[in-house]
Structure formats: C-alpha cells, structure tokens
Amino acid sequence: MIDEIAKDADQRMAKSVENLNQDLHKIRTGRAHTSLLDQVSVSYYGTEVPLNQAATVSVGDARTLVVTPFEKSMTGPIEKAIMESNLGLTPNTAGQAIRIPLPPLTEERRRDLVKVVRSEGEQAKVAVRNIRRDANSDFKQLLKEKEITEDEEKQGEDRIQKLTDKHIQAIDELLAGKEEELMSV
C-alpha cells in the first residue's frame, strides 16, 4: 500500500518536472531551436494541426529558423500562423521557404524572461508539494482506517519527503541552467 502511494507520487512529481522542462524549452533564449515553434498550429484544409505536421522546421543558423511547407499552397497559412502565435517573430517568405530571424534579446527582456522562468519553476514546485500533501493525507487516511501502523505512516512520509526533495532539486537545476542560458550573451 505504501509502495503504491510512493510510486504514484514519484510518477506524478516526475511528470511535473517534465512539464516544466517542456515549458522552459518554449522560452526563447536568442538562439534558434526548432522547439520554439512546437505550440504553433496551422489551419490545414480546415483542420488545426501542429506546424511540424504541415512543414519541416529546421535551424538555418544560430539566429534563424527555416520552415519548409510540404505543399506550396500552405506557405501563406503557415506564415500567418507564425505571425499570430504571440512569439514576437516576423517570418520572411523567400520562394517556398519561410525564414524566421530571431532578434537578439535586450538586457531588459532577458531579465523579464528570467522572472518568467522563476515563476514557472515556482508553479512546478507548488505542484510537487501538492503531490506530497496528497500522499501524506493518503497515509493519514490509512492510519485512521487502521490499515497501517504509526511507524509505517512515518516511514511513508519520510519516503515522500525524500522524493519531494529530489524533484525540487531537479527543478532548481533546470531553472539554474535556463537562467544561465538566458543571461549569457
């Protein structure tokens, strides 16, 4: 019973860390990477599809992304979707390829992005702590129903605390890496 609760908590905490990692990849650092356009969706014959299902996204150079539509007729809708994505990017169409230059980040913008990163990190930590709270309340419920002893409850809570500490440390490492990446010019 305790093992099941701990395993479930560990999986849910790992999922929170993974979600943070995905969210951090969407934050632009001035360098081009294809994951920047992952959340962009395009109207493809009346259906909204992710950009990578309508075009090939590649890195042209350190500050340029190149989007090559699978069909020539999709160039306009893809360009429009990128413009409307609130990423602050301005695509340039050259024939069938769409070039997206990434402007260098100003110092002020870098500091704002660090604040966003810290906020995302704090949300992930809160999620991990909520999972800890849920697991501990499960232990208390089992104790109340006399399915486990007080010692087993204490051991379970200690185990959950160790999992919590491990995942919070992983979150801190992700945040430190992203902040360093943002502040390096």
pLDDT by residue for the chain (185 residues), tens only, comes to 889 999 999 999 999 999 999 888 877 666 777 777 877 889 888 888 888 888 888 888 878 889 999 888 888 888 888 888 767 778 888 888 899 888 777 888 788 888 888 998 999 999 999 999 999 999 999 999 989 999 999 999 999 999 999 999 999 999 999 888 888 76
Enumerate the β-bridge partners of residue 55: 69
Three-state DSSP class for residue 88: coil
Q: Which spans in 26-72 are helix H?
A: none
- Say what the pLDDT of residue 102 is: 81
Closest CA to 26 of 171, 164, 172, 182: 182
- Say what the pLDDT of residue 185 is: 61
**pLDDT, tens digit, for every residue of 161-174?**
999 999 999 999 99
Q: Which residues contact 119 (CB under 8 A, 6 or more apart)?
A: none
Q: What is the Cα–Cα distance from 43 to 58, expressed in whole angstroms?
A: 20
Give Cα 159 distance to the centre of its chain: 27
What domains does the chain contain, in order, with CATH numbers?
2-26+106-183 (1.10.132.20), 34-101 (3.30.1360.40)
Residue pair 81/40 in contact by the 8 Å Cβ criterion: yes
Q: Which spans in the chain are helix H?
A: 2-25, 75-83, 107-144, 150-183
- Say what the pLDDT of residue 30 is: 66
- Say what the pLDDT of residue 38 is: 79
**Percent of the chain scored above 70 by pLDDT?**
97
Enumerate the β-bridge partners of residue 66: 58, 99
pTM for this one?
0.69
- Angle at Cα 25 formed by Cα 106 and Cα 67, nearest 5°? 85
